[in-house]
Structure 1
C-alpha cells in the first residue's frame, strides 16, 4: 500500500467551475495553466503542485482520492475548503 503521493490540484468555490475545468483538461488544456488562472489555493502559483505528502496529511476526502483514485486522471473532490480538481502524479 502506498504511503506517499504526489498530486496537483485546483481549488475553486463552485462545483460547476470545477466540472468545467475537468472538461477543459479532457480537451487537452494544461493543468498548470488552469491552476495558475483559477485556483484560490497558494499552490496555484506553482501550477497546483502540492509536492509529495504522506497518507493522513490531507483532509480525509482529499486523502482518499489521492491514495485510491486512478493516477493521472482528474478527480472532483469536495472538502471544507471548496471543490478540488485533483490529479495524482504518482504514489510510492
Structure 2
C-alpha cells in the first residue's frame, strides 16, 4: 500500500466549473496551464503542484482519490470543504 504520493490539482468553487475543466483536459488541454488560470488554491501559481505528501496529510475525500485513483489521468470532481478538485496523481510510493 502506497504511503506517499505527488499530485497536481485544480481547485474551483463550483462543480459545473470543475466539470468544464475536466472536459477540457479530456480533449488534451494542459493541466498546469489550466491550474495557473483557474485554480483558487495558492498551488495554482505552481501549475497546481502539491509536491509529495503522505497518506492522511490531505482532507479525506482528496486523500482517498489520490491513493485509490488512476495515475496520470484526471480524477474528479472531488468535493471537499474547500470546493471541487480536479486531481492528477503523478506517482505513488
Q: TM-score, length-normalised on structure 1?
A: 0.98
Q: Secondary structure at the match of 1:50?
A: strand
TM-superposition CA deviations, 1:58-92 (whole Å, max 9, x none): 00000001101111111110000000000101100
Q: Which runs of 5+ in 1 are unaligned?
A: none
TM-superposition CA deviations, 1:14-49 (whole Å, max 9, x none): 001001101001111100100000000000000000
**In structure 1, what is the Cα distance between the partners aligned to 2:70 and 2:33?**
22
**In structure 2, what is the Cα distance between the partners aligned to 1:54 and 1:43?**
17
Alignment-derived partner of residue 79 in structure 1:
80
What is the root-mean-square deviation of aligned Cα atoms in Å? 0.5
**In structure 1, what is the Cα distance between the partners aligned to 2:5 and 2:67?**
7
| 1:58 and 2:58 aligned | yes
Count the aligned residue pairs: 92
**In structure 2, what is the Cα distance between the partners aligned to 1:74 and 1:28?**
11
Alignment-derived partner of residue 91 in structure 2:
90
